[in-house]
Amino acid sequence: MLAAENDNIDVLRSRLAVRTAEANRKIADTAPNPNLNLSAVQIRPNLIGTRRVDQIADTLVSVDMVLERGGKRRARTAAASALLAASRTDLAATRRDIREAIFDSYFDLKAAEQRVDLLGNIAASYTQGLQLAGLKTRSGAISGADLARQKVEASRANTDLQQAQADLRSARLVLATLIGQERLADTISTTSDWPGSDVSGQPAPADLLALQRPEVLSAQSRLSAAQRSLDGANALRKQDVTVTLQYERAPASLGIGSSVGFGVSVPLAIRNRYRGEVDAAGTQLVQAEAELRKATAVATADIVIARNAYQQAATRRQTIEDEQLPAARHAAQIAEFAYGNGATSLLELLDARRSLRAVELDAIDARNDEAHAFARLNAAQTTADDN
């Protein structure tokens, strides 16, 4: 899991999104810079070359400062802060999804390993039985037709084993890719057992739990950002004031001498009343409200579906392990005993073996399905605090 946190591209992309949101918040929480103006006015061409430079023109220095009104800075900072919170919960959702994908791939790998072990034992058993059947054929104990049937079954078992080995290599590569360790794919194997089948405790109501899911919290933060953006759009109608401080240095012999000035300028809201900006922000707010309702409904349904799917998967696994698998093993043991004592045919023995193999493979699949459902349930019930 640590490898995925460090190397998975989706997690890295989400972390970069958080950094970008942090930078955007710093940008939003910044006042406009003042402007420094330097100029020379009332230049006297007839005095050029006869007087000093400071005596042939007035020197003007001024500073313009924009004073924002209407809470513009506060609104855009609040919107940026809400988007930062949304990016952080997006990161939590990405981590949750990556964990689920890794768990799924891990369980697929474990199932592939168990299929290889099972089919390897079956193939080895058929190979050993085929050697014994060859001896019995030469002694006349079984017919050539029975030997041919066993050769077919042995070949089929080896083919199934080869396919299972190919699936195992694919499962290793999928897991290695998720954790960013592709070069070590051939060495990856599972070490732990299947997850427990008991989900203890009374589950929280799905609708309440959904409100703490990362994607719902992210939608709530984006709604807050849209509300603050609407505030900012309305604040545009409060005209900013530009304050100017001025110092003019002039020769006393040519005028009143140096002086200080002060000025204020305000835009006239005649042509642009920012109706478009306000309408656009209002539309985004309505869309954000709809996205929040959708995210909440989807999260609630996801939790309910995950709980039902896990119960169904656990019931199926228990039925196979407690009923079908013991019955298939018992039937195979009876068939082996009967065939060894000449009380049944080879066809019935092979049929019992095939049934046992199918049920054993079903048991592995059922365990894998239950593990997938367990991982999905954990992901569905994961809140932002769990990350």
- Amino acid 339: pLDDT: 79
Q: Which two tokens stand for residue 301?
A: 């349904």
Residue 95 CA to residue 101 CA, distance in Å, equals 10
In this predicted model, which residue has the larger pLDDT, 314 or 41?
314
- Amino acid 54: pLDDT: 63
Mean pLDDT of 290-311: 96
| Residue 279: partners with Cβ closer than 8 Å, 6 or more residues away | none
User: Tens of pLDDT along 332-345?
Assistant: 999 988 977 777 77
User: Tens of pLDDT along 157-207?
Assistant: 999 999 999 999 999 999 988 887 888 888 999 988 888 766 556 788 999
Residue 79 CA to residue 85 CA, distance in Å, equals 10
- Counting other chains too, the contacts that 153-156 makes at CB distance below 8 Å and 24 or more residues apart are 153/126, 153/350, 153/353, 154/123, 154/126, 154/127, 154/129, 154/130
User: Tens of pLDDT along 40-89?
Assistant: 777 777 666 566 666 677 788 999 999 999 999 999 999 999 999 999 99
User: Tens of pLDDT along 272-282?
Assistant: 889 999 999 99
Cα dist from 41 to 45, 55, 59, 133, whole Å: 12, 12, 6, 115
Token look-up 């140096």 returns 258
What confidence category does residue 311 fall into, taking pLDDT thresholds of 50, 70 and 90? Answer: very high
Residue 11 has pLDDT above 60, yes or no: yes
What phi and psi values does residue 66 have, to the nearest 5 degrees?
Answer: -85, 125
For the ranges 134-143, 178-187, 333-342, 349-358, the maximum mean pLDDT occurs at 349-358
228 neighbors 82 (Cβ within 8 angstroms): yes
- The full DSSP string for 124-189 is HHHHHHHHHHHHHHHHTSS-HHHHHHHHHHHHHHHHHHHHHHHHHHHHHHHHHHHTT-GGGGGG--
- Amino acid 141: pLDDT: 60
- Amino acid 35: pLDDT: 95
Q: In what order do the strands lie in the sheet with 35-41?
A: 35-41, 58-67, 241-249, 259-265
Residue 316 has pLDDT above 90, yes or no: yes
Residue 227 CA to residue 217 CA, distance in Å, equals 15
Average pLDDT taken over every residue of the chain: 88
Q: Which domains can be identified in the chain, with CATH numbers?
A: 2-31+68-237+273-386 (1.20.1600.10)
User: Tens of pLDDT along 226-254?
Assistant: 999 999 999 999 999 999 999 988 766 55
- The full DSSP string for 4-50 is HHHH-HHHHHHHHHHHHHHHHHHHHT-PPPPEEEEEEES--GGGTTT
